[in-house]
Amino acid sequence: MHKAIAAMLACLVFWPTTAQSTDQTPRRIVSLNLCVDQILIDVVAPQRIASLSHLAADPELSTVSDRARALPSTPGDAETVLGLDPDLVLAGTFTNAATLTLLERVGRRVIRIALASDLDGIRDSVRQIAGAVGETERGAAIIAAFDVQLAALRVQATPGERKSPKLPTALMYQINGLASGPGTLDDAVLRAAGFRNLAFELRLGSGGRLPLEALVAVPPDLLVLSTPSGQHRTAVADNLRHPGLAKMRRGRASIELPWRTFLCGTPAVTEAIEELTRARRALKP
């Protein structure tokens, strides 16, 4: 621990600052956030990316894992980032504050990207990242394509479905009984696919927990799992392996929606919305 602190202080005092001024187009961009990674890789040419976060290449979490594996990655500590000599560091609002403060103190340009909790937030994130890297036109094109995809998915709903005051219910149910309520990206994705989020009716908060007993007592029309029941062999995932949940799934509609498609607020959420839309249309009356 003392050696690590000494190394950080040494960087603070002696590391050369070669960061470019804000009016120059950044050429060595480092991303420290998984959600930023997935937008950045679509906004700029790969040769301008000095590093992505170490999670970008994880196929369970990232929709760009195949492309990310061809690029450098970083665990996100200040020493490693400084060694990459970035002229721009992009981070999330919850990225380690001490790391970002140190980078700023040695003259590196750091921009914190607000992570999206709804579809408008996705557009805002793309605009912010595209503006930071000098690619506003590219950002606008990505947003336009995103809107076209959303419009095409909305067309799939029948006129009767669009006007119905009682849409089918759905619930995204995860390990440890987590079920996202209002004000979350999960909720926005469900609503975009034509569902009512059961978590709202059960008065769960944005990071609410739903006991399995309550879920079985009041099941949704569609149960959405982010991971297969046997994927995580830990105690907190016992709820996904419970016989009661298995029995409920045999009698009710359910799907396993890859977490990577809705974990981050990126245009890739259209994959989740499309899958959910198909599941809604397949529901029995």
pLDDT digits (tens, 9 = 90+) for 189-205: 999 999 999 988 887 76
Q: What does the pLDDT look like over 40-97, one tens digit per residue?
A: 999 999 999 999 999 999 999 999 999 999 999 999 999 999 999 999 999 999 899 9
> What pLDDT is attached to residue 98?
94
Q: What's the mean pLDDT in 141-170? A: 79
Flag whether pLDDT at 5 surpasses 50: no
Mean of all residue pLDDT scores within the chain: 84
Nearest to 107 by CA among 6, 211, 20, 180: 20
Structural domains present in the chain: 16-147 (3.40.50.1980), 165-282 (3.40.50.1980)
Which residues partner with 172 through β-bridges?
A: 224
> What pLDDT is attached to residue 232?
56
